Structure 1
Amino acid sequence: MRILLIGNFSPLCEEEPLHNFTLLNLLKRDGHECRAINIGDTRSKDERIVNAGSYFDFITKLISLGLRCKVIHFLTKGYVRPGLMKLMTTVFLGRLFRAKIIITLHSELFSIFGRLRSKMGGQQLLYFSFSLADRIICSDRHTFDVALTHHRAKEKFIIIPSFILLPEEISEKDTIRLRNLENKNRIIVFAGVSYPSLLFDILNDLLANYLDPGTGLAVCVSREDSVKLQHVIKEASGERAGNIVFIEPDDPRLLTLALTRADLMLRTLSCDARILFKDIAFSIKRPAHGKRYLYFPVSVSFINEGNVMDLCARIMKNLIEEPAEALMPSEEDFYEKIKDIYPV
């Protein structure tokens, strides 16, 4: 079956592109003829991915790749206007192509900005897109509830968490790369760290005042700041430098392996690979394991109002020190649920 995936396939350390690549890999493994268009600001080097530049470039590539597809699946966080324009265009042209149209709304700020969409354009874009789509997948209950305010056809909507395929084997090389996380009581992943940013300030405060020997950190810094920031973080960590593993932005395997061991992930907010509000906000997510997948059923976003770095670091310290009950593993096969939506 010919399938076209459209979404963020940028080489960034966060769960959205990891989920998108997981879906692409599983569909190709099952023998489907699957292509993908990257609408993220950062270009993908994967030969299976077609990078879209301007809006008109996107339209050209959508027509070229989507014309004979049976399924067109658009994956987005859904709160940046250029992405919504591409979503509406995809749904409209997909209907002309007689393809089945699937939309995935990844969890983040849609549950906030979805309520604030302008009546002079934003709400109409969502209503039009949801009306013409065959199914809308929401990654959590909050996103589901907000999406329903834009379209009342509840039968179109379904909740399926964004998931990442767990590695089947861990090589000796992987073990060596993650050796600084061995035998740690708690592991925290910091993803998308840049300077200046609130996330960097929290990491710096945590290293200076609150990090204990039993906590391991996996830190993925932004591409443009990679070498410089790694040096600064090592200097700030002092004798705790042996507790840190650095992950390059284009190393999804190492990030996935770190997340399989992590108790918490902290990262900057983004949409379609565009970093947003890095000076005032960051997200905390708690991973859980399913049958074959990693997913994130618990998350919260922090927004800076005044000087809250020390407060956030103290909250992080309590989260690290307080024993947390393990999240119940899900027995659902999320990939099979998506395949059930696709035509046979």
Structure 2
Amino acid sequence: MDFWMVLHLLSLLNMARCSPVLSSYTVHLNKNSFTNAQSYCKPGSVLTDIPDKKEMDKILKTIWDKTNRTAVSFWVGLKKDKGACVQQGLPLKGFYWTVNNSTESEANMWKSEPSSTCTDVRCGLLSVEYGNSGVTNSGFMDATCKQQHPFICKRNMETVCQRPQIHDTKYIIDYPEDPYTCQVVCNSDANYTLTCSHDLVWTIVGKENIDVSELCLECKSGYRRDAFGNCVNVNECEESEPCKHGCKNTEGSYICDKLPTTLPKKKDEYSHNEEDKSVQPQPTVLSEDVRMNDRGVQIEESVGDISNIIVPVIIALLIFIVLVVIVAAIVKGCLRRRTIKRARRKAEAVGLNGSSSMEKVNEKEET
């Protein structure tokens, strides 16, 4: 049976055994006016009401779990309209809950008496004080509605996100006890926990404003999805070592370095062992084209690299020899023609003028 199916069955069995009560409140630390806080909570939530001590305890626990202990006043859905008077004898002192216009509340939930006025609009705050292990004191206070404070929203349990539509999903696990959370399992076995945001949009826990419909789709080559569903670059150099030598990661791909031309220096051949204070030899890291034979002599296996050097040298030497032979032949021919020309002149001189003319020819040639 599939692992996730087993997990789903176990969760259903656990729900059958007990029905945990989960908080339906959300604490927002960003400060807003009363009106803006109301708008922020909609459409899936409202500024919370606190009709009794039981609900107060739930909210105080949510505040303790959520805040950094610096926020001490929170807007709640408590309001008095202009023209209505503060009535000290009533549980809500003339205020009402904006969620349902109710004036019901347990007595003695005010931390301080509201301002006695009939002409001003006043809004309600929940004021808290912190101790070492929780909220030690709390109660209602009033303020002008334009002040900015953190606020507390209450989920409308009848309004939930529609079932998410996600491509290439294997299945989606729903949690009946928490309709604002679901588990998505993709065909690739990747899984994500989704939460229904305050504006009734499914998003990844811890990552807002993401299109969850494409969570299970594959990213383009060189990328993959992270825990938040984003397509991020894959570092192939670290994960698969695709290069024989150095590797440089690039966006969506990688580049292999060329063959190294030098070996590590000898000073790197030894490292000190800090435990026994002895010197341990370290093997010299050679390039992949160099290996050691049985006698410890380095032998280059890449014969093709040597032949690429020797063959051009031999060809150049042969060309040089041929050029030398040609030059020698030309010089020898020139000397021979010169000798013949000199002999011919001497013969002509003897025939025409005798020996005296011959001597003149010799003197002329010598000069």
Q: TM-score range by the shorter chain?
A: under 0.3
Give the number of the structure whose alpha-carbon radius of gyration is greater. Answer: 2
Q: Which has the higher helix share?
A: 1
TM-score (structure 2 length as normaliser)? 0.22
Q: Which has the higher contact order (CA 8 A, sep 6+)?
A: 1
